[in-house]
Amino acid sequence: MSTASASAPAPSSLRERKKRRTRQLLVDTSLELFTERGFGNVTLDELCDSVEVSKRTFFRYFTSKEDVAMAPTQDLWLTFIDVLETAGLGPADRPVLLLIQDTLLTALDRTTTDDWSHRVLLSRNLAERTPSMDAHGLHFCDRTTRAALATLHRRLDIPDPADLRPRLAVDMVVAAFHCALATWASATGTATGTATNTTPSPDSLSAHTRHAFTALAAVPAFPVTPRQDTSPRP
């Protein structure tokens, strides 16, 4: 093999690293500016000027201010879809709910770092007081759910296209993760908008997620016991 051919992939690799750095800089700068000045008080022009990129470059990575501000959590779910599309499916009789749970846990292992944890907390704080981010998140969740269902129907033998069970399994895993994310974030006070200097570890998010999945499995057997004293509490 010649020296030229051996070194051929390097320029492409360098370009990819530069693209990743630019994208990450856009995310970090946006979260910093939005947190300091408020989401609505930072224009897209100001954000691009801070990173020294054009708006055209910005739109190569993101569709809007909401998109870049919610990138940390969205990156996790994009990894989830990638794992669902490419990973092994396990035993033939494996329940679809367990498949989806394990897929999300694998995505967490691939995505989460200490820096990611900090970005997620900043993004959550912004979303709690920015209606347009909340709306964007709902739209992204819908697209992600549809992508997950399309992958499940493509990779699994599901005779009835109208079978509700795959959709319900995805919805339950998403709901359980949202509960885990909320309890994980509460360690910093972000659930009440009073963030401290403590950032919970990404490993603890996986632990919270596993705990939520355990609770989810116990829901069908959760007993209902009426209270004897039904008077309103003070």
CATH number, domain of 22, equals 1.10.10.60
Q: Are residues 127 and 108 in the same domain?
A: yes
Q: What is the pLDDT of residue 4?
A: 40
Same domain? For 108 and 162 the reply is yes
Tell me how many degrees the CA angle 20-81-137 measures, rounded to the nearest 5.
80
For residue 202, is it within any domain? yes
Residue 231 located in a structural domain: no
pLDDT one-digit tens code per residue, 9-26: 445 688 888 999 999 999
* Residues 51 and 117 grouped into a single domain: no
Sign for the CA dihedral angle at 13, 110, 47, 43 comes to: positive
Same domain, 75 and 95: yes
Of the three residues 19, 42, 63, the one that is the final residue of a domain is 63
Q: State the pLDDT at residue 203.
A: 83
Q: What is the CA 114 to chain-centroid distance, rounded? A: 15
pLDDT for position 138 = 94
What average pLDDT does this structure show over 130-136? Answer: 94
Q: What is the pTM of this model?
A: 0.85
pLDDT at 201: 76
Does the pLDDT value for residue 214 go beyond 70?
A: yes
The reply to whether 233 falls in a domain is no
The confidence band for 3, taking pLDDT boundaries of 50, 70 and 90, is very low
Q: Is 211 found in the same domain as 104?
A: yes
Report if residue 225 sits inside a domain: no
- Whether residues 16 and 124 share a domain: the answer is no
Which pLDDT score is estimated for 127? Answer: 93
What percent of the chain clears pLDDT 70, i.e. is strictly above it?
87
Model confidence band, residue 114 (pLDDT cutoffs 50, 70, 90): confident
Q: Same structural domain for residues 146 and 179?
A: yes
Q: Is residue 227 part of a domain?
A: no
**Cα distance between residue 64 and residue 110, in whole Å:** 26
Q: What is the DSSP string of 112-158?
A: --HHHHHHHHHHHHHHHT-HHHHHHHHHHHHHHHHHHHHHHHHHS--
Average pLDDT over residues 130-152: 96
Residues 99 and 27 in one domain: no
- CA–CA separation, 205 and 104 (whole Å): 12
Report pLDDT for 7. 39
Same domain for 202 and 150: yes
**3-state helix vs strand vs coil in the chain, percent to 5:** 75, 0, 25
pLDDT digits (tens, 9 = 90+) for 84-104: 999 988 888 889 999 999 999
Q: Does any domain span residue 29? A: yes
Q: Does 3 map to a domain?
A: no
**Which domain range does residue 122 map to?**
70-218
Q: What digits encode the pLDDT tens for the residues 168-200?
A: 999 999 999 999 999 998 876 554 444 445 666
Q: Are residues 84 and 59 located together in one domain of the fold?
A: no
CA distance 152 to 156: 6
pLDDT tens readout for residues 32-62: 999 999 999 999 999 999 999 999 999 999 9
| 43 and 140 housed in the same domain | no
pLDDT, residue 91, reads 82
Within a domain: residue 95?
yes
Do 194 and 128 lie in one domain? The reply is yes
Mean pLDDT of the chain: 88
The domain total for the chain is: 2
Q: What is the CATH number of the domain that holds 126?
A: 1.10.357.10
